[in-house]
Structure 1
């Protein structure tokens, strides 16, 4: 039985990949692959996320999810589960630890997830992203949700250039049942999408997964500037509603530049640190690092 877990780091094209797979879910099931994405694992019938979020001592959701997993493993030879909240949420106090580590509870949550799944071996799938760009996009999401306004408050003293993906991967692979992990750069996703799907699915089914239009447009720089100005003058305004108006006025799809809350030199330092981090990832045992071939075209 194959168990594949797409850990779906936030802001790494996770939603696009999930939507692609959801569009093919019936054909996948007809061919022995059960695909469970947020529409399923956040529901009452298969409460994986509820089980992960439940405090100690409250295990009803965990038990129900475990029973559902057991039933699915008897019915399907191939399970693929995907959710960006498997590792944690997007709030700054959840996404980042006190020392700035990404998804500080990620390993503990994976251990609990594998327990609900009935154990491994499981292949993990994870996309990584350049730190400053990742932090900017995560901040953009919190703006859209109405939870944040100023980048310095969101960062809370964290260096936007120092995000250690190697540390996260090491913690995840330390969990019993985590057999291996497939990693790729978010920046390479369009060129690697076909190969990613061939790792997640039986290869002959990967070509049946459609490629929908991009989703989840972020905040543009003019939208952020307008939002900040309005929020300063309308102190009682609903930030979420203001953010929606800002995105409508200055959409990325109209050619407005993406929001850049960090200085150019910080992005340069971030890129250099990212390359060093990727080199360490490439050398790690049980890591398959996907990279575009020299002549590869988008799939």
Structure 2
């Protein structure tokens, strides 16, 4: 059986992908495929290790691997050919990333722990990445509305200078799960084309559909109102076109340059560690939607 782990990252339209899967269960059944979303992953299968916190304890990983092995084998015996699992918390929690000001520390180890239960199957891992200036901004806005940190100068400096890049995440996962196929795409190219992501990951054709924009980063007006209501000075930050943009120009330029280095590395073959599929976006007229997302299986969520 083919097992596909769609591991995120956060703020890269993960819930758009999950919504697309939930809305196309008929097509999945026809392809002898099934989908486990965050409700399944967090609700029981990996309940002791899916909160996104670090570290995952050995006994937690061992028990979860046994549960996953039993359930996946039962699916195989029922004739299922493809199992698709999507939960961005497999990489770690967004809250911890912001608290540590470090991009998914231990990502490779975490994904290896989740992959333990599928050792008898063909494993594919899917990862979406996004320009750091937009990714950090979306993460900050999302967490700010839930009591997260204000992006003052010291925090922004740590975000710009923190050493981890998407390239390191890709290399860590490739080393940690060497027998898996690793597929990487960008939010800019494929956020509004979950059908292309699915085709690349599982070779399943679905019809493109217009999806509602839910679970997106809050608009600039919402962030300003929230800050004012909390007695904070919103004028500390710039608001181009009424958008929340915490980074100064030189900071955003540095983050974009870091991202361009990642994309160049991916386009040059990623050292043989991953399949970079952005070229697929040329097959559609899909337009990028920043921060796009929707609820998993119709359940309102706040984690993507």
Candidates 44, 55, 65, aligned match of 2:57: 55
What are the Cα deviations for residues 118-158 of structure 1, in whole angstroms up to 9, with x where unaligned? 35541111110111211111111212323x14113993751
Verify the 8 A CA contact 1:35 1:79 in the aligned structure 2: yes
What are the Cα deviations for residues 5-41 of structure 1, in whole angstroms up to 9, with x where unaligned? 1111000011111101111124413431011111222
- For 1:73 and 1:175, the matched residues in 2 are separated by 25
Equivalence for 1:291: 278
Verify the 8 A CA contact 1:21 1:209 in the aligned structure 2: no
What is the SS of the residue equivalent to 1:232? Answer: coil
Q: Which moved more, 1:163-172 or 1:265-274?
A: 265-274
Deviation at 1:101, TM superposition (A): 4.3
Deviation at 1:108, TM superposition (A): 1.4
Verify the 8 A CA contact 1:122 1:180 in the aligned structure 2: yes
Equivalence for 1:84: 88
- For 1:297 and 1:2, the matched residues in 2 are separated by 29
What is the SS of the residue equivalent to 2:160? Answer: coil
Equivalence for 1:246: none
- For 1:96 and 1:143, the matched residues in 2 are separated by 10
Equivalence for 2:291: none
- For 2:19 and 2:226, the matched residues in 1 are separated by 29
Verify the 8 A CA contact 2:16 2:192 in the aligned structure 1: no
What are the Cα deviations for residues 75-132 of structure 1, in whole angstroms up to 9, with x where unaligned? 31111111111111111xx32696x542112111111111122355411111101112
Matched, 1:228 2:216: no
Matched, 1:134 2:135: yes
Question: Structure 1, unaligned stretches of length 5 or more?
Answer: 234-255
Deviation at 1:231, TM superposition (A): 1.3
Candidates 256, 265, 274, aligned match of 2:250: 265
TM-score normalised by structure 1 residue count: 0.79
Which structure 2 residues correspond to residues 31-110 of structure 1 after superposition, within 5 A?
Answer: 31-44=31-44, 47-52=45-50, 55-58=57-60, 60-75=63-78, 76-91=80-95, 94-95=96-97, 101-110=102-111
Equivalence for 1:176: 177
TM-score normalised by structure 2 residue count: 0.77
Equivalence for 1:113: 114
Verify the 8 A CA contact 1:222 1:257 in the aligned structure 2: yes
Question: Structure 2, unaligned stretches of length 5 or more?
Answer: 233-240, 288-304
Count, aligned residues: 270
- For 2:192 and 2:142, the matched residues in 1 are separated by 25
What is the SS of the residue equivalent to 1:50? Answer: coil
Measured at CA, do residues 261 and 178 of structure 1 come closer, stay the same or move farther in structure 2, by a change above 3 Å? farther
- For 2:256 and 2:124, the matched residues in 1 are separated by 28
Equivalence for 1:243: none
What is the SS of the residue equivalent to 1:145? Answer: coil
- For 2:77 and 2:26, the matched residues in 1 are separated by 18
- For 1:20 and 1:154, the matched residues in 2 are separated by 39
